[in-house]
Chains A and B, each alone.
Chain A
Amino acid sequence: GQQLNQSPQSMFIQEGEDVSMNCTSSSIFNTWLWYKQDPGEGPVLLIALYKAGELTSNGRLTAQFGITRKDSFLNISASIPSDVGIYFCAGHGSSNTGKLIFGQGTTLQVKP
């Protein structure tokens, strides 16, 4: 089945630094979504991308839908301690648009 490869697996940064994480697939995805999951909670949607090349911002977060439709990245600028958590990419593949497929997650830790 379709899979998403997310990198890096974990990051440990200093408060105020910018962060970048990405997600790739060997097959085409029709949508790309970025979620954040805090401990003991379910994932919460941060940004949704629907068209190849689309660049969308949500506050300090920026995400892009790759031109090839096989990748996406998420940037966080000027990180703050509350950015700590696990970030997941997810998407609807072209073969089964009813199923949301998730990456393995990127664990972000921010040192004050």
Chain B
Amino acid sequence: EAGVVQSPRYKIIEKKQPVAFWCNPISGHNTLYWYLQNLGQGPELLIRYENEEAVDDSQLPKDRFSAERLKGVDSTLKIQPAELGDSAVYLCASSLLGPSDEQFFGPGTRLTVL
């Protein structure tokens, strides 16, 4: 069975440019998460979806970040415009039911903003 798929794996952009990350969760997993991982730190939750509904987006900087999960499957995380401090790894994870279930992580997208 395929794991969580993320693309691209690496992205280098100049500041003020937009960028988008894509995630395909494990088939049948209802809950999807986007995490931010800064260098030398643990992942921090940005947003959690249950099916197509964002049930926890309290940590998402809504002035420049947006996310969507159309049809409750794939998800896209967007940053517009990107800032230097956005350089980090963006991890997607999914779980079968709610957050108490095991979360399976994708390989992440490493973003570098120049």
Which residues of the other chain, B, contact A48 by a CB distance below 8 angstroms?
Answer: 102
Q: Is A102 in contact with B99, judged by CB distance below 8 angstroms?
A: no
Q: Is A97 in contact with B42, judged by CB distance below 8 angstroms?
A: no
Which residues of the other chain, A, contact B44 by a CB distance below 8 angstroms?
Answer: 102
> Which residues of chain B from 44 to 94 have any CB-CB distance to chain A below 8 Å in the complex?
44-45, 48, 55-56, 91, 93
Q: Is A105 in contact with B99, judged by CB distance below 8 angstroms?
A: no
Q: Determine whether A112 belongs to the interface, using a CB cutoff of 8 Å to chain B.
A: no
B45: nearest residue on chain A (CB-CB)?
A99
Compute the total of residue contacts between A and B using a CB distance below 8 Å: 53
Q: Is B99 in contact with A42, judged by CB distance below 8 angstroms?
A: no
Q: Is A92 in contact with B100, judged by CB distance below 8 angstroms?
A: yes
Partner of B99, one of A44, A98, A103, A104: A98
Say whether chain B's binding surface is mostly helix, strand, loop, or mixed.
Answer: loop
Q: How large is the interface on A (under 10, 10 to 19, 20 to 34, 35 or more residues)?
A: 20 to 34
Known: A98-B48, A99-B45. A40 touches B107 (CB 8 A): yes
Q: Is A104 in contact with B40, judged by CB distance below 8 angstroms?
A: yes
Known: A42-B91, A90-B42, A102-B43. A31 touches B100 (CB 8 A): yes
Partner of A43, one of B41, B45, B105: B105
Distance in angstroms between the alpha carbons of A26 and B44 in the assembled complex: 19
Residue numbers of B with Cβ under 8 A of A are 4, 9, 40-45, 48, 55-56, 91, 93, 98-100, 102-103, 105-108
Residue numbers of A with Cβ under 8 A of B are 4, 6, 31, 40-45, 48, 88, 90, 92, 97-100, 102-105
* 25 A-B pairs whose Cβ atoms sit less than 8 Å apart in the complex: A6-B42, A31-B100, A40-B9, A40-B108, A42-B93, A42-B108, A43-B91, A44-B105, A45-B102, A48-B102, A88-B43, A90-B42, A97-B100, A98-B48, A98-B55, A98-B56, A98-B99, A100-B103, A102-B42, A102-B43, A102-B44, A103-B42, A104-B40, A104-B41, A105-B41
